[in-house]
Structure 1
């Protein structure tokens, strides 16, 4: 299974409940697809470099979440579909860090 890294910018809410629900949903997709979550880092609320439009709303602040997981390409497709349709997500970027142990650890 390849190792993936997702950086997600979620819309900023005054309470943490929507972010918690987003993390529960994404982790359930990964776990149901026999994937393994290696780490989840919450980088906090930051001002976006520019105003971003997503789901017919403008955003100037976002909550940054970095998630590292191992999963099949099918899991990644399901996760991308969820993030594309979820109104809490402003932007996300997925990086394939490697499928082999040598790719992940470095040479």
Structure 2
């Protein structure tokens, strides 16, 4: 299955976002998945103030990752991101219905639209 992960990491340093991406990427790869691409969308405002881990966030470092894996690995990724204190928000969406003809042309890189 092809999944798209849109993540928002707390503002601090770019290294925190890189560490989160590395952690997720290693989980995907260790469970037999494939990472199609990672896009850094830079720091921007969140749609509304978000409270996580006793802190208020109005800005975050955004990134997008597209990866192929089985549903169990996707659940592991979601669980890991939910427990990570550096994550402000995230969303994992399944793209297509899993048939190769539907997802074979999906690129890994996605540009930020403003």
Task: Give the TM-score taking structure 1 as reference length.
Answer: 0.91
> How far apart are 1:97 and its partner, in Å?
0.5
Query: What number of residue pairs does the alignment pair up?
Result: 104
**TM-score, normalised relative to structure 2:** 0.86
Q: 1:2-17 residue pairs with structure 2 within 5 A?
A: 2-13=1-12, 15-17=13-15
Mapped to 2, the partners of 1:93 and 1:20 lie a distance apart of 17
Structure 1 residue 102 displacement after superposition: 2.8
Does the residue aligned with 1:76 lie in a helix, a strand or coil? helix
Give the unaligned 5+ runs of structure 1: none
- Equivalent residue, structure 2, for 1:68: 66
Partner of 1:33: 31
1:85 maps to 83
Q: Distance in 1 between the 2:6 and 2:16 partners?
A: 17
SS of the residue 1:17 aligns to: helix
Considering only aligned residues, what root-mean-square deviation do their CA atoms show, in Å?
A: 1.3
Paired residue for 1:95, among 89, 93, 96? Answer: 93
Alpha-carbon distance in 2 for matches of 1:12, 1:84: 17
